[in-house]
Amino acid sequence: MDLTLTPRQQDVVAGVREWLLHEEIPATSGDLDTQFAAARAWQQRLYDAGWLGLGWPIEYGGKGGDRLEQILVNSELARAHAPLPAGLIGLEIVGPVILEHGTEEQRQRYLPSLLDGREIWSQGFSEPDAGSDLASLQTSGKVVGDTILVNGQKVWTSWAQFSRWCAVLVRTDQEETPHKGISYLLVDVESTGVTIRPLVQMTGDAEFNEVFFDDVEVPIENVLGGLGAGWQLAMATLSHERGPFAIRRHVELRVALDQLALDVQRAHRSGTRLIDDTEIRRRFGRCEVMVEALAAQTLRIVDRLENGGPDAESSVDKLLLADTEQQLFGLALDTLGDDRMIAEATADGVDAARWISGYLYGRSASIYGGTAEIQRGIIAKRLLGIETT
């Protein structure tokens, strides 16, 4: 066991901290369009300052360092309350898959513009009738000469309305078994026949979209990893997504718990100071334990990413992350008064709007990227070797 950082990793941490001291962190207020524009400008600034693509090869716009350097930078950014870069799906989900499975041309074409935020990516996996049972997806990709003709519909596609490219799973072979007939396409969202319709969620934001494909022509060179490799890439994508995501999210939850602990200092409920309530105090203690347990788990994730380990363990990370997030925001909800559904800061300093929104958003933590039930199934089958049928 050795948790000491290399001199280069220590320099990276010191460097980003120093940079953050002089950098104005953009506010995350305003409507979604304003927020997205700010996040995009922020990504450009991060890239220009050298804080994106640290673990990627230099020839594709990266810095040629190790993966942990980027993870350390992301943690420092989250700690400083920095907004997420606009192209997060490209940076953390699609980009790594293109890097690993793309052709040289694809890497040259897509990676540099994905890093600095010139091109934003979204990911079209789920369909109205294919959620947890992703392999049953029906969006078709008919190979006609050098072109794939795409027809069908995707749903819950985050940030599609702002994206230029969408990584889409389509069925290119109707004869094959469900898993083998799927291909991973890089689709230009500006192509004729693509329609994007935002879906407003219960938080009031429209992060989700429905994406419709009507005879969309996609050049065959936009297939990633070859025809029929889609399922394997999708699974690789989902485990890529979980590890680094959990690491970043952990820091955000750390910051959120600190903020909540500060928020409640002046709060009174029924004439008693909230922090004198032994039940509430203990729940803060329990959340602290959860967040620290998640911190310990992120060390295991880093070790797995750097030194190898079963991919299926990312399902453990996912369960822990969702549980921590939901407990934390459940506590936040319970610190609010009787008028908790009034989405304004209360007089005693508790930011009700933020905590209600966090609570509502947190309910999706056990749904997105594979539900908690799907994760338990993966753990049972792949970590415990239980025959599931």
Partner 1 sequence: MRFRREGVEEEIAAAARAFLDGVWRIEQMRANGREFPSTLWQEIGNVGWLDLLVPEAAGGLGAGAVEAAAIFEEAGRALLPGPLFDNMVALPLVFAENGRAPANDPVLATSACFERADPPVDVGGGRASGHLVAESPDAADILIVRALDERRQPCIAIVDCADPAIEMRQLDSLDLAGRPFHLQLDGAAAKIVAEPPRSVRLTEELTEWGRVMAAARMLGVLDRLVELSVAFAQGRRQFGRPIAAFQAVQHRLADMAALAITCRSVCYASQWALAVDAPDRHLHTHTAKAYLSRAVRHVAEGALQTHGGIGVTEEYDLHLFVKHALRLEGSWGRSEEHEDALAEALFERVTAAADIAPLSEAQA
Stretch that binds partner 1, among 18-26, 157-165, 188-196, 376-384 (CB under 8 A): 376-384
320 binds partner 1 (CB under 8 A): yes
Residues facing 223 on adjacent strands: 185
| Interacting residues of 3 by C-beta distance below 8 A, sequence separation 6+ | 299
Backbone angles phi, psi at 183, to 5 degrees: -125, 155
| Interacting residues of 359 by C-beta distance below 8 A, sequence separation 6+ | 329, 330, 332, 333
Strands (E), 189-234: 194-199, 208-219, 223-224
| Nearest C-alpha neighbor of 183 from the set 115, 123, 138, 230 | 230
| Among the listed residues 196, 295, 360, 367, the single contact to partner 1 using CB under 8 A | 295
| Among the listed residues 17, 136, 258, 343, the single contact to partner 1 using CB under 8 A | 258
Pick between residue 159 and residue 245 the one whose CB is nearest to partner 1.
245
Looking at 207, 241, 313, 325, which residue is catalytic? 241
Nearest approach, Cβ of 273 to partner 1 (angstroms)? Answer: 8
CA distances to 3, 230, 320, 372 from 314, rounded to whole Å, are 21, 20, 10, 12
220 binds partner 1 (CB under 8 A): no
286 binds partner 1 (CB under 8 A): yes
Nearest approach, Cβ of 47 to partner 1 (angstroms)? Answer: 25
| Nearest C-alpha neighbor of 259 from the set 374, 192, 354 | 354
CA distances to 29, 53, 161, 335 from 88, rounded to whole Å, are 18, 12, 14, 32
Per DSSP bridges, beta strands 182-188 and 165-171 are: antiparallel
Instruction: Decide: 150 and 168 in contact? Cβ < 8 Å.
Output: yes
| Nearest C-alpha neighbor of 355 from the set 373, 337, 378, 382 | 337
Q: Which amino acid is at 134?
A: L
Counting residues that bind partner 1 (by CB under 8 A) gives 50
123 binds partner 1 (CB under 8 A): no
Nearest approach, Cβ of 305 to partner 1 (angstroms)? Answer: 10
Q: Which amino acid is at 203?
A: T
Active site residue 241: yes
306 binds partner 1 (CB under 8 A): yes
299 binds partner 1 (CB under 8 A): yes
| Among the listed residues 262, 342, 345, 347, the single contact to partner 1 using CB under 8 A | 262
Nearest-angstrom CA–CA distance, 198 and 204: 12
* DSSP-derived 3-state class of residue 46: helix
Site for partner 1, residues 53 to 112, rule: CB under 8 A: 68
Pick between residue 257 and residue 356 the one whose CB is nearest to partner 1.
257
Site for partner 1, residues 7 to 36, rule: CB under 8 A: 9
Stretch that binds partner 1, among 21-29, 150-158, 299-307, 335-343 (CB under 8 A): 299-307
Residue found by looking up tokens 């600095």 in the block? 116
Stretch that binds partner 1, among 34-42, 51-59, 214-222, 255-263 (CB under 8 A): 255-263
322 binds partner 1 (CB under 8 A): no
316 binds partner 1 (CB under 8 A): yes
Backbone angles phi, psi at 136, to 5 degrees: -90, 15
348 binds partner 1 (CB under 8 A): no
Nearest approach, Cβ of 274 to partner 1 (angstroms)? Answer: 11
Q: What angle do CA 312, 318, 324 make, to 5 degrees?
A: 150
284 binds partner 1 (CB under 8 A): yes
| Interacting residues of 36 by C-beta distance below 8 A, sequence separation 6+ | 86, 159, 162
319 binds partner 1 (CB under 8 A): yes
Residues facing 171 on adjacent strands: 140, 182
Nearest approach, Cβ of 134 to partner 1 (angstroms)? Answer: 18
Pick between residue 207 and residue 325 the one whose CB is nearest to partner 1.
325
300 binds partner 1 (CB under 8 A): yes
Nearest approach, Cβ of 316 to partner 1 (angstroms)? Answer: 4
* Residues known to be catalytic: 241
Q: Using CB under 8 A as the criterion, which residues of the chain lie in contact with partner 1 when the complex forms?
A: 1-5, 9, 68, 257-258, 261-262, 265-266, 273, 275, 281-282, 284-286, 288-289, 292-293, 295-297, 299-300, 302-303, 306-307, 313, 315-316, 319-320, 373, 375-377, 379-380, 383-384, 386-389
